[in-house]
Amino acid sequence: MAGSQSRVKNRILRYYRGFSFVGLAVAALLFAASVTPSLLPRHYVTQGLLSGFALAVGYGLGVVMVWCYQFFELPSPSRGVEYFSKRITTVLVAATFLVCLRNMTFWQNSIRKLMEMPDLETAYPFRAALIAIVFGAVLIAAARTLIACGMFLFRRINRYVPPRVAVATSGLLVGFITLFLVNGVVARGLLALADSVSLRADELIEEGMEMPTDPLACGSEESLVQWDSIGRQGKKFLTDGPTSQSIAELWGAIKTSQPPEQQPIRVYVGMRSRDSEQERAELALQELKRVGAFDRSVLIVATPTGTGWLDPSAVDTLEYLHAGDTAIVATQYSYLPSWITILVDPQRSIRSARHLFREVYDHWTTLPKDSRPRLYLFGLSLGALGSEQSADIYTILEDPIQGAVWSGPPFPSSQWANMTESRQAGSPAWLPKFQDGRLLRFTGRLNSLDVDRPWGKIRNVYLQHASDPMVFFRSDLWRRQPEWLTDRRGPDVSPYLVWYPIVTALQIAFDLPMATTVPLGYGHNYSPQGYLNAWIAVTDPDAWDSADNQQLIDTVMKRFAESDD
């Protein structure tokens, strides 16, 4: 018994002594950097997982640094120098670690204050540190186990082949097996789980969500789109919008003369409505014709988010603005959250948007120009990525559409990136000015659309927040400071946000799933006010007075409050 206890103790000591001092020091520094502010406020559990990941990455980086030093056979320091340097490093790293922990609450509140959120009494720094150490230790242990497996294979293979061949072979074997397990088993398993959960959520029918009785409503018994084939978000879109009565009440309160009372037209085709994207687009066009959408003044081809959601802040605002004389059409292409769909297949939204736009546009171009509706595009998040690439410029050159509103364009968006990089000198990356502004303008929390400047024939607007990680994440963020930090920073970005190699990329990546957990008007949560400014600039409604904007905003916000209840 005593012998077995001694062996266990020796193994533990050997495992502990196998840790790299440099690796631990770098890990502690990356932890300290990880608790500094990013774009969004974080719960201490999220902070702990983020910091644990940073610990593991830092440890690996430190080990690689030592390996490189030894590989190039650089001279080792004397025992005395090593002894004192370790003590000094330990003191400095520990001090940095504790100072950053102490400031964690202050840093979190620096973001919350800008986003009009109440201050935290504490961000629970020690709880976050405990979660980080445990999670980081698990990740490091997993990495060390892989290395141990590699060494085991090396010793066996080295009996038959030269050392370098044995190193390469064992490394490839371990790498292949790890990739298979992580990508082929773990990642696919998690994706399958997310897919299953999202599918079930898409099939849910919420209380009060009943099939429309109006024969001209999409999803009714007379509709070409079967109600049961429409997902949860599509059903919400079809049933939760403004009524002709609520629109009349708003206009009656702000205008002496009212436009004719009209029920806004909404058409939505779910993933289960038809098998392919092309078939869903064809069905959407047939339904648009059936309900008389091409007789309205404004027609919006909308691309939803990954879950199939269309933001009420955008669509409700537009319908109130144009007194219900509108039609909005959308087809579902996924039921996974946008940030997962971006990682799995960001082309889904593009393919779906292109099919729908081509069907609608081809029919629209056959109609008399003086009586057809004005045609616009809309997309939020992954929907913006699909929508902005749906209308081929060469296709619409001869017969152009009237414009688009794209909000929260995600980081894979090449068109958005090209426009941002081509911005006027002196304009910040989070609020660019593109050429003379006749074709495209950017706006944010505050209206920056400069309504007095003349527009061209097509009016396009990007609505984005400086604090939106979905917009400003970059694949090279780990090695290069982003322009949105080198320029003057946005009004909703913490003044204490500092770029650190590797760490800032991890911070913004962890912000992505939390991008909509902040109040309206911040992060990836776009407000009716921002959409109203964009729609007024793009659609230029004749009968609307900007002095009535607040009344419309209050009406939309009241609807949000009622739906939450």
The 10s digit of each residue's pLDDT in 544-555 is: 877 888 888 888
- Determine, yes or no, domain membership for 226: yes
- Determine, yes or no, domain membership for 171: no
- Starting from the edge strand earliest in sequence, which strands make up the sheet with 459-463, in order? 265-269, 326-331, 298-303, 374-380, 403-407, 459-463, 440-443
- Determine, yes or no, domain membership for 173: no
Are 116 and 222 in a shared domain?
no
Distance separating alpha carbons of residues 263 and 295, to the nearest angstrom: 13
Q: Average the pLDDT over 126-140 and give the result.
A: 94
Are 388 and 285 in a shared domain?
yes
Are 315 and 415 in a shared domain?
yes
Are 133 and 233 in a shared domain?
no
Distance separating alpha carbons of residues 401 and 463, to the nearest angstrom: 19
The answer, yes or no, to whether residue 169 has pLDDT greater than 90, is no
Q: Look over the chain and give the mean of its residue pLDDT values, rounded to a whole number.
A: 87
Distance separating alpha carbons of residues 302 and 225, to the nearest angstrom: 17
Q: Could you tell me where the beta strands, DSSP code E, fall in 50-140?
A: none
- Determine, yes or no, domain membership for 180: no
List phi, psi (to 5°) of 78.
-65, 165
Residue 187: the pLDDT is: 47
Query: Which of 534 and 187 is assigned the larger pLDDT?
Result: 534
Asked if 404 contacts 368 with a C-beta cutoff of 8 angstroms, the reply is no
Are 255 and 150 in a shared domain?
no
Q: Which domain holds residue 501?
A: 204-564
- Sorting pLDDT into bands at 50, 70 and 90, what band is 253? confident
Are 102 and 242 in a shared domain?
no
Q: What is the DSSP string of 391-445?
A: S-HHHHSSS---EEEEES--TT-HHHHHHHHTPPTTS-TTS---TTSSSEEEE-S
Residue 348: the pLDDT is: 86
Asked if 41 contacts 111 with a C-beta cutoff of 8 angstroms, the reply is yes
Which of 127, 157, 187 is a domain's end point?
157
- Determine, yes or no, domain membership for 184: no
- Sorting pLDDT into bands at 50, 70 and 90, what band is 5? low
Q: Are strands 326-331 and 374-380 parallel, antiparallel or unpaired?
A: unpaired
Which of 157, 190, 225 is a domain's end point?
157
Are 417 and 495 in a shared domain?
yes
- Determine, yes or no, domain membership for 400: yes
Are 151 and 26 in a shared domain?
yes
Lowest mean pLDDT among 155-164, 265-274, 288-297, 322-331: 155-164
Lowest mean pLDDT among 64-78, 131-145, 311-325, 443-457: 64-78
Which of 157, 188, 213 is a domain's end point?
157
Asked if 280 contacts 359 with a C-beta cutoff of 8 angstroms, the reply is no
- Determine, yes or no, domain membership for 114: yes
Percent of the chain residues topping a pLDDT of 70:
88
- Determine, yes or no, domain membership for 553: yes
The answer, yes or no, to whether residue 562 has pLDDT greater than 70, is no
Residue 180: the pLDDT is: 57
**Which amino acid, 48?**
G
Count of the separate structural domains present in the chain: 2
